[in-house]
Amino acid sequence: MSLQSSFIQIFISHIKREFLINFRSLVDVTSITSFMILIVTLFVLGIGPFEEKLRLISNGIFWIGLILAIIPSLEKTLQRDYENGWLDQAITSPTPMELVLLSKSLAYWLIVIIPLLISLPLFIILLNINLKLIPWLLISILVGGLSISLIGIIGSALTLGAKRGNILLPILIIPLIIPISIFGIGISEAVRINETPLDNLFLLIGFTLIYMVISPFISAFLIRIAISR
């Protein structure tokens, strides 16, 4: 038996570690979803009791809520491990940093998406979302969420060690998230007006795949710079 685990095993063990850390304090996990519920509620209250108006913009509200709720937590994904020296350990280990980061962003995606899926019925009621939209909404947040977490890792690596990282980070990554949100909203929007949502979906998947390839390399490069300072 080889004493060296394969990359897949290392990958899975990383995801397990992130889950251990994040699910230890449930505040971390539930804060994103509860923040999103609050944002959506504020929007709905702001619009007032006009069902017709809400139906037109509910997709947009959902996506804005998702993006705004995710951003504050992004900084923490790498900052914690940077401060306690875990990234130093990862970089001086035989495991490639890119693998560590890919597993980190996948774990982050799961950690965001699981509570969100559980609370999806609440959003459907709050935003009065049509039943035929639900499967497409589900697909769009699954794929879009993965993109956002891959982009988020880049932003988080970029602001490592920066003093005002929590302000800098949204400014840096929201422009990158814009295409994701356009195609994400486009999917449900196309279904709403009885057109095919597949064009938008394929574009969204394409973007996600591109980010999946480049994000670990860019963020590993950035982390090496941050650590060498």
Partner 1 sequence: MFYLKDVTIKRGLKTVFYNWSAKIENSKVTIISGKNGVGKSTLLRAIAGMIPIEKGIVKNNNNEIFKDQIKWGQNLIYIDSKNGLSKDLTVLENLKTWSEMRGWKTSNDDIQKALDSVEMLNHKNLYISQCSEGLKKRAALSRLYLSLLFNVEFWLLDEPTNELDQKSVILFNKLIQRFLENKGTVLLVCHELKLFDFNYELLNLDLLKK
Instruction: Please report, as ranges, the residues that interact with partner 1 according to CB under 8 A.
Output: 1-5, 9-10, 13-14, 16-17, 20-21, 24-25, 80-81, 83-86, 88-96, 100, 224, 227-229
Q: How far is the CB of 145 from partner 1 (least distance, A)?
A: 23
**Torsion angle of the four alpha carbons 118, 120, 121, 127, in this order, in degrees rounded to the nearest 10:** 160
Between 15 and 122, CB nearer to partner 1: 15
**In whole angstroms, what is the distance from residue 198 CA to residue 196 CA?**
6
CB of 3 to partner 1, least distance (A): 5
- The residue among 90 and 187 lying less far from partner 1, judged by its C-beta, is 90
How far apart are CB 18 and partner 1 at their closest, in Å? 10
DSSP H/E element including 117: helix 97-118
| Of residues 96 and 115, the one with the C-beta less far from partner 1 | 96
Separation of alpha carbons 121 and 116, rounded Å: 10
CB of 114 closer than 8 Å to CB of 200:
no
d(CA 137, CA 134): 5
Minimum Å gap between C-beta 158 and partner 1 is 17
Of 2 and 196, nearer to partner 1 (C-beta) is 2
